[in-house]
Each structure stands twice: as C-alpha cells, then as structure tokens.
Homo-oligomer: A and B are copies of this chain.
C-alpha cells in the first residue's frame, strides 16, 4: 500500500488524523510531504503522531530538496521535505 500525505494549509490535526487513519487501515509506511512554510507544520504533525498517538511509529527516512514550480514563464524554487514513517514490527 502506498500512502502519501501532503501537508498544506489545513489545520495540523487534519494531517495527524489522515496519518493515523492510514496506519489503522493497515499501511506499513506513510510519507509526509510539505513545501515552503508548511515544512514546520509537517514536522509538528510527525511529532504529534509519534509522541501522542502511536509510539510504535519510527522515522525511517527524512529528505529535503528543492522543487521547481513553473508559473507562466517564471521558474520558482521552493524547499521541500519528505518524512517516511514506518510501523515497528
């Protein structure tokens, strides 16, 4: 099963809930992604899931990078993060 949650403008708890739901539905891994200012929120979401709700979740991988977004003729560069969470066996 492939699960990816893109953290954006909604409130933190929306994404926490989406993540918990994915794991409860049997996902072995969930990837949390965010761009720009939402990166801080993505880290908060991961910390809330791990510390408050599911202590059997580990951080398997964290990557940061730059996404290029084309707006008309301009190319904007925006930082991104991708955090892979996995259920311990």
A interface with B by C-beta (< 8 Å): 36-40, 43-44, 46-47, 51, 59, 62-66, 77, 79-81, 83
- Contact assessment for A66 and B40 in the assembled complex, using a CB-CB cutoff below 8 Å: no
A-B contact pairs, 12 of them (CB 8 A): A37-B37, A37-B40, A38-B40, A39-B39, A39-B40, A39-B43, A40-B79, A46-B64, A47-B79, A51-B77, A62-B62, A62-B63
Min CB distance A50 to B, Å, is: 9
Closest to A81 in B: B43
Identify the interface centre among A38, A51, A62, A79: most chain B CB within 10 Å of its CB: A79
Residues of B within 8 A of A51 (CB): 66, 77
